[in-house]
Structure 1
């Protein structure tokens, strides 16, 4: 063996010895035998090098107050039916059940996450046992078909949940309705529905997860988490803000005590979402070693994108700068405000002062996950561990039971009647269809998917379905031509979500990244890929944080666009991209993270498609005239109020974030490189 071969062998030996891999990740490549934490048949399809599974872990049915009072009547069974490709009926703008909705392709997995605080109280209002329950004003308002009455009821419910300035307080209906027993009954219904739709056979066609949403918000500053259980072993009832008194630490402690420590075979994680609307409160420095331990244990993932915006990073085109970033692609699907009042637009007017645009200088940096990750690598030197080591997923947060309905074309809205039909363009123009949670798992089972989430081998998409791999370690320059790229990726390093000790590397970190375009469907083929970027964040010797975006594959200036008359794709890109990239500025003494961002060719935003369907072309010189005509028609034919289609003619040149053309994307979970403490 020559000196070069010996050096390479030594390097690989050191790398294998010190890379932070989960025990399962190692064993999965050595054996195809799986031990399950539940009774089920072994999946007939098993891949040691894993396959991508697409899902949604943020879904609401009529069991949620804000879904029910928006005239949405589909329950858990319809949620799973839709996720599996069946059509369901959702409310139109008038509240009548008239709109047929169907996903473009079935999901592989889904988790229903109705609001845990209100399961019993909503059930008491929907199906009261007493006369007082039937005539209780709040319940009557929740059952009303009048939009304004429904919105007043929504405000009432959020106040009860402690999302305003008061502490969480159960509804007075619980004085004469047994809300506690209804809470348990509905929670059992959630579990039973998940069981009915979980494929325990060897076919492993669909996986359901038991879960709920923990719904804390301080003065409408979002702190929500989706709580996902590994299997059918769950807590007796959802642990909600009523039990924690709005303490995230208490949530983690009670989940740990009641599930992980208190119930054999129980495992659980909590997924934060919409840090963009948290007013800077979502990710604060841990105040104790216990808080640090529990955050790392309970929250391995973060939901990076959903219908209330993207939380990767923020760049204001009008200001020409961002929130601790100069990355111009950070203008993607940004919400003007920084709290849940962003939902306050009704009949074309923002009804809350708190829903207004927050300028760059007053927008909290830690609303954006990239900044949180940068602070995490800086805090590692101080705390001994990184408190913010998150993998990425996307989801929808649908309140219309449309699990995974993230496609731009045919988007029916995610808020029941409140954003159905013309109301979507009129009142929820800044929202979007959401994204997907993608996991790399050996098979489509609860155990395999949950373990992928635990080890952060996940990525988020903005609604399309590209296939993306990302590995870090030591890779030959010709790795992209290898027939066994996946095996090479695992053998020579770690996948997305992994951690490398810098002492294991003899030289600069090298990354293997490749992506395949979304194949789409027969009627709607996917868009070509434009490029792959690698985003690096790090902390220097003084603890100051930095970031840099590297173009590593493809062509950002390929000239692709859309036809302004039809929205058809113009130009070509790539069906596949692959590269081995070495950090030119690598410093083994710095703590750093890297993640890949895959960018598709331009396509029309959902709002552009809906405007065009109404006869209003955002690209046309006659847009305003078309808007007036379409709005008049909506008022006459559909009972609309105001200038319904005015938003269609907003000019991207005058907007901080909006554009009628977007570039769909995927974000891999980061790979961290850690220096010695």
Structure 2
């Protein structure tokens, strides 16, 4: 059954204190109200006991400090990246003025650790670079510009990924080296300068760039701490003999960091779709190890979050894995690894996508008692332009080579004999919404640790997702539904409490982006492990707009389409501004492990290629998708059977 209600999500609180005064203007006794109404308060905004604000951020952004970003022409540093994120207008590396439609609330800057800062020295012709024959060759290519610069960049990156980089460069730009540490100090200082507790949160971080044979096994690292802790250590690299591409190496670094500094850190992976099946293993790891008790324990300990959507493809689901999900075929990149040097085969897909990983986690938990893939969900840009742009109408691409121009759609972004990713396939995504009490490093980091987060492909819709056993339709009548959500259940990222009814029910509330498109529908995605050890999934339509009727197969028909391609626009004459429902699982079995998450879909809107066509006169290549349905994915809620 569908349910539409009007709700205030930004003030979803009801735990507050009355304020009164004596007749002579003095402060009243705060115990007086409580003595009359024991345990109650009047103001719904006082004494908040749970997060009532959603803060928007990007967990993955590169500046010219990163090897690949700098090689492809990014001349911006962390200082410019922070300015843009906070709402200032800057000039891009290609000379274009750029400003976000709305500032972000927080961000993690994640420049690649390996050869961090080398591109800056190469562009400047630093003496240590020119003293090496290969370095001098690359420098001359950059001086020549055009195709020669591109060839030099590709050759340099190929040498790095294939392990043939001159060792003197690896040594100079590696953990503990003077050149490396000076770049790290600049990154840390820039984050400290940008951090403004209560107004904007700047996290210190980096990307640990494990890319053996082009397989994407990267992890981003996010520190809860400031400069005092961050400058005590240098980020780890992956190139031998100074580092390792095995995640055990990173997990050990994280453990050492916390023990040495007393600080706190987390890691999270991204783009499993480019790992050729190695991102979410169940038996063997890429590095020759086993998925054993130590592996699941350490991965669960250090990786509580997963970046499920970004520029290099949406990673929630794939139609091959989820043939009954009509919305699974959304902005998939399934052509190979990062270098497209190994052909993608269907058997790899199960180790690459977020929904399948969540299912695999149930199986591993049954075996080891620990779920290594029990992660919260978020989105990020992974932009290498220093520009955190995830809006379709303000999209500056992956790298400087695909910043706005008449030709960026028509030349391939990645190409090899085994596959190609066309320029128009870049995805203008994404951001992470975090439910937190305040905009500080502590509050946002802790929210990510407890998984009270959700991903969107760019729009800033507000989404609440609670799981419990006693929710009823009357719970949606309140203008502050989150109070009852926390009182009766657990939020996204949580574990279902003790069973008190025949089946779990869920309170889901979604409000459109205030300047965005209306909502089409809300769905619940369920995955479970049956008592025979088989994994399953099902997608339920639980709330939808307009007067559509569910068919006999439980499917709701399409919402319609108001996109005007000639104007790069749409109208909110279909869909709903708000959707909410109480949904009970009709297929619940208390003997089966399960997870549930909400997926919220907008009505159709234009992709960024349409804006390029209208604004720049750029020709749209044949085969390019023109229209998409932006979406949000909440972190799951898990159910674990009890012995009873």
Alignment TM-score > 0.5, same fold: yes
* Residue 558 (structure 1) shift: 3.1
Match of 1:208 in 2: 202
- Is the 1:133–1:173 Cα contact (8 Å) retained in structure 2? no
Aligned partner of 1:329 in structure 2 is 327
Is 1:561–2:562 an aligned residue pair?
yes
511 and 145 in structure 1: CA distance in 2 versus 1, 3 angstrom threshold? farther
Q: Which of 295, 299, 303 is the equivalent residue of 1:299?
A: 303
SS in 2 for 1:245: coil
Closer/same/farther in 2, CA of residues 539 and 325 from structure 1, 3 Å limit: farther
Q: Which SS does the other structure have where 1:382 is aligned?
A: helix
Go from structure 1 to structure 2 and tell me whether the alpha carbon gap of 1:420 and 1:567 turns closer, same or farther (over 3 Å shift): closer
Judge conservation of contact 1:167–1:245 (CA < 8 Å) in 2.
Answer: no
Mapped partners of 2:489, 2:172: distance in 1: 59
Structure 1 residues 589 and 400, CA gap change in structure 2 (3 angstroms): same
Structure 2: gaps of 5 or more residues: 1-13, 18-45, 283-289, 412-422, 546-556
Is the CA contact 2:176–2:234 (under 8 Å) kept in the aligned structure 1?
no
Deviation of the 1:478 alpha carbon: 1.9
* SS of corresponding position for 2:260: coil
**Structure 1 residues 381, 173: closer, same or farther in 2, change over 3 A?**
closer
Match of 2:410, SS state, is: helix
The answer on whether the counterparts of 1:239 and 1:255 sit within 8 Å (CA) in structure 2 is no
Q: Which residue of 2 is the match for residue 77 of structure 1?
A: 79
Matching residue of 1:407 = 391
Post-superposition CA distance 1:96-115 (Å, at most 9, x none):
x3211111100000111000
Q: What does residue 487 of structure 2 align with?
A: 491
Q: Deviation of residue 511 (structure 1)?
A: 0.3
The answer to whether residue 584 in structure 2 is matched with residue 592 in structure 1 is no
Aligned: 1:267 with 2:264: yes
Cα-to-partner distance string for 1:234-284 (whole Å, 9 max, x where unaligned): 251011213442110111012112x222212x1111110000111001122
Task: Write the distance in 1 (CA, Å) between the matches of 2:170 and 2:208.
Answer: 21
Residues 587 and 134 (structure 1 numbering): CA distance in 2 closer, same or farther, change over 3 Å? Answer: same
For this pair of structures, how many residues does the alignment match?
564
Displacement of 1:159 after TM fit?
3.9
Question: Any idea what SS the aligned residue of 2:527 has?
Answer: strand
Which structure: greater helix fraction?
1
Cα distance, 1:306 vs structure 2: 0.6
Decide whether the 8 Å contact of 1:64 with 1:114 is kept in 2.
Answer: yes
Q: 3-state SS of the aligned residue for 1:337? A: coil
Of 464, 477, 482, which aligns to 2:478?
482
Gaps of 5+ in 1: 1-27, 32-43, 92-96, 316-321, 343-352, 521-525, 617-644, 652-657
Q: What is the distance in 1 between the residues matched to 2:374 and 2:141? A: 40
Residues 122 and 129 in structure 2, CA contact (< 8 A), matched pair in contact too: no
423-432 or 281-290, which moves further after superposition? 281-290
Task: Name 2:353's counterpart in structure 1.
Answer: 368
Find the counterpart in structure 2 of residue 158 from structure 1.
157
Asked if 1:666 corresponds to 2:627, the answer is no
Matched-pair contact (CA < 8 Å) for 2:517–2:602: yes
Q: In the alignment, is the contact (CA less than 8 A) between 1:69 and 1:144 conserved in 2?
A: no
Q: Residues 160 and 171 of structure 1 are in contact (CA less than 8 Å); yes or no, is this contact kept in structure 2?
A: no
Are 2:142 and 2:152, in contact at CA under 8 Å, matched by a contact in 1?
no
CA contact (8 A) 2:67 2:114 kept: no
- Could you tell me whether the CA contact under 8 Å between 2:66 and 2:111 is conserved in 1? yes
Please report how far the alpha carbon of residue 122 of structure 1 lies from its aligned counterpart in structure 2 after TM superposition: 3.5
Kindly tell me: are residues 543 and 205 of structure 1, through their superposed partners in 2, closer, same or farther at Cα, counting changes over 3 Å? Answer: same
For residues 178 and 284 of structure 1, the distance between their equivalents in structure 2, rounded to whole angstroms, comes to 29
Q: Shift of residue 72 of structure 1?
A: 1.4
Deviations 1:574-630 (A, max 9, x none): 1111100000001111000000000001001111221233446xxxxxxxxxxxxxx
Q: Which of 400, 405, 416 matches 2:400?
A: 416
Q: Does 1:112 align with 2:109?
A: yes
Deviations 1:276-308 (A, max 9, x none): 111001122363322222111110000011100
Q: Which of 177, 184, 193 is residue 180 of structure 1 equivalent to? A: 177
Q: Distance in 2 between matches of 1:379 and 1:498?
A: 19
Whole-angstrom distance in 2 between the partners of 1:540 and 1:588: 10
**Which deviates more from structure 2 when the two are superposed, residues 220-229 or residues 173-182?**
173-182
- Distance in 1 separating the partners of 2:147 and 2:112: 22
Residue 69 of structure 1 deviates from its aligned partner by 1.7
**CA 1:171/1:327 → structure 2, altered by over 3 Å: closer, same or farther?**
farther
Tell me which residue corresponds to 1:538. 528
Are the aligned partners of 2:273 and 2:334 in contact in 1 as well (CA < 8 Å)?
A: no
TM-score between both structures, scaled by the size of structure 2: 0.82
Q: Indicate the larger mover: 549-558 or 101-110.
A: 549-558
